[in-house]
Amino acid sequence: MVGSRTRKGELKMRGFFLGASAAVLAFMGSASSFAQGNNADTYRQLDLLMEVFERVRAEYVEEVEDEKVLEAAINGMLASLDPHSSYMGPESFRAMQVQTRGEYGGLGLEVTQENGVVKVVSPIDDTPASRAGLKSGDYITQIDGSPVLGLTLTEAIDKMKGPVGAPITITVVRPVPDEEDEIFDVDLVRDTITLTSVSHRVERDAVGYVRVRTFNDQTTRGLKEAIADIEKQLGPDMVGVVLDLRSNPGGLLDQAISVSDAFLDQGEVVSTRGRNPRDTKRWHATPGDLVNGKPVVVLVDAGSASASEIVAGALQDHRRATILGDGTFGKGTVQTLIPLGAESALRLTTARYYTPSGRSIQERGIEPDIEVTQPRVTASGRVLKPRRERDLLGHLRNEQLLKDEANSEQSADEAAEPSPDQSSDQSGAEDAADVSPAEVIASTKEPKSDEAAGDAAPQMTEETAEGSESEQEKGDYQLNYALDLLLGVRKAVEEQTASADIKE
pLDDT of amino acid 415: 63
Identity of the residue numbered 412: A
Q: What is the mean pLDDT of residues 231-238?
A: 96
CB atoms within 10 A of CB 483: 20
Higher-pLDDT residue of 468, 235: 235
pLDDT score, position 8 = 41
What type of residue sits at position 147? P
What pLDDT, in 10s, does the model give residues 21-49?
Answer: 444 444 444 334 444 455 788 888 889 99
| pLDDT > 50? residue 462 | no
Mean pLDDT across 326-347 = 91
Domain ranges of the chain: 7-80, 103-194, 198-409+433-494
Range 272-285 average pLDDT: 94
pTM over 0.75: no
CA separation for the pair 101, 107 (Å, rounded): 17
Predicted confidence band of residue 287 (pLDDT cuts 50, 70, 90): very high
- pLDDT class for 470, splitting at 50, 70, 90? very low
How far is CA 33 from its chain centroid? 34
Residue 441 predicted with pLDDT over 80: no
pLDDT band at 412 (very low <50, low <70, confident <90, very high): low
Q: What average pLDDT score do residues 83-109 get? A: 81
pLDDT bucket at 364, cuts 50 / 70 / 90: very high
406 or 21: which leads in pLDDT = 406
Helix axes 253-262, 307-317, angle to 10 degrees: 30
CA distances from 139 to 114, 182, 479 (A): 9, 10, 28
Query: Does the pLDDT of residue 444 top 70, yes or no?
Result: no
Average pLDDT over residues 226-231: 98
Residue 330's nearest CA partner among 108, 83, 42 is: 83
Give me the pLDDT at residue 22, please.
47
- CA atoms of 460 and 462, how far apart (whole Å): 7
DSSP designation for 381: S
CA atoms within 13 A on the CB side of 79: 16
Inform me whether the pLDDT recorded for 430 exceeds 80: no
pLDDT of residue 501: 55
Query: Is pLDDT above 50 for 437?
Result: no
- Contacts of 453 by beta carbon, 8 Å cutoff, 6+ apart: 370, 438, 485
Q: Report d(CA 316, CA 368) in Å as an integer.
A: 9
What's the pLDDT at 393? 83
CB 124 within 8 A of CB 195: yes
Q: Which residue has the higher pLDDT, 461 or 128?
A: 128
233 confidence band (pLDDT: 50, 70, 90): very high
Of 36-40, 63-67, 356-360, least confident by mean pLDDT is 36-40
Q: Are strands 182-189 and 198-203 parallel, antiparallel or unpaired?
A: unpaired
Q: Which residue has the higher pLDDT, 405 or 117?
A: 117
Please state which of the ranges 75-89, 326-340, 373-387 shows the lowest mean pLDDT: 373-387
Which stretch of DSSP H or E encloses residue 478? Answer: helix 477-503
Under CATH, to which class is 198-409+433-494 assigned? alpha beta
Cβ-contact 174, 378 below 8 angstroms:
yes
- pLDDT, residue 459, reads 27
Mean pLDDT, range 349-371, rounded to an integer: 96
The top-scoring range by mean pLDDT among 16-25, 278-287, 392-401, 442-451 is 278-287
Tens of pLDDT, residue by residue over 149-169, are 989 888 899 899 888 999 999
- Give residue 466's pLDDT: 29
Average pLDDT rounded to a whole number, residues 51-56: 94
How confident is the model over 170-191, as pLDDT tens digits? 999 999 888 889 999 999 999 9
* Residue 391 predicted with pLDDT over 60: yes
pLDDT at 502: 58
Q: Which of 142, 404, 453 is nearest to 297 (CA)?
A: 453
Q: How confident is the model at residue 421 (pLDDT cuts 50, 70, 90)?
A: very low
Pairing state of beta strands 182-189 and 117-123? unpaired
Question: Bigger pLDDT: 55 or 9?
Answer: 55
CA distances to 27, 150, 273, 342, 348 from 72, rounded to whole Å, are 17, 10, 30, 20, 16
DSSP character for 364? Answer: T
How long is the chain?
Answer: 504
* Position 323, amino acid: I
Please give the mean pLDDT across all residues of the chain.
80
The helix or strand, by DSSP H or E, that contains position 317, with its residue range, turns out to be helix 307-317
Mean pLDDT of 452-475: 32
- pLDDT of 154: 83
> Residues with catalytic annotation?
306, 317, 331
Question: Could you report the per-residue pLDDT of 127-144, keeping only the tens digit for each?
Answer: 999 999 999 999 999 999
- Measured CA to CA, the distance from residue 20 to residue 469 in angstroms comes to 52
pLDDT value of residue 20? 47
Q: Where are the alpha helices (DSSP H) in 108-236?
A: 128-131, 153-160, 219-234
* Residue 195 and residue 216 in contact, taking contact as beta carbons nearer than 8 Å: yes
Q: Does the pLDDT at position 243 exceed 60? A: yes
Residue 235 has pLDDT above 70, yes or no: yes
Backbone φ and ψ of 119, nearest 5°: -110, 135
- pLDDT classification of 403: cutoffs 50, 70, 90: confident
Distances (CA, A) of 452 to 432, 435, 456, 461: 16, 12, 6, 21
CATH no. of 103-194: 2.30.42.10
Q: Determine the distance from the C-alpha atom of residue 165 to the mean position of all C-alpha atoms in its chain, rounded to a whole number.
A: 29
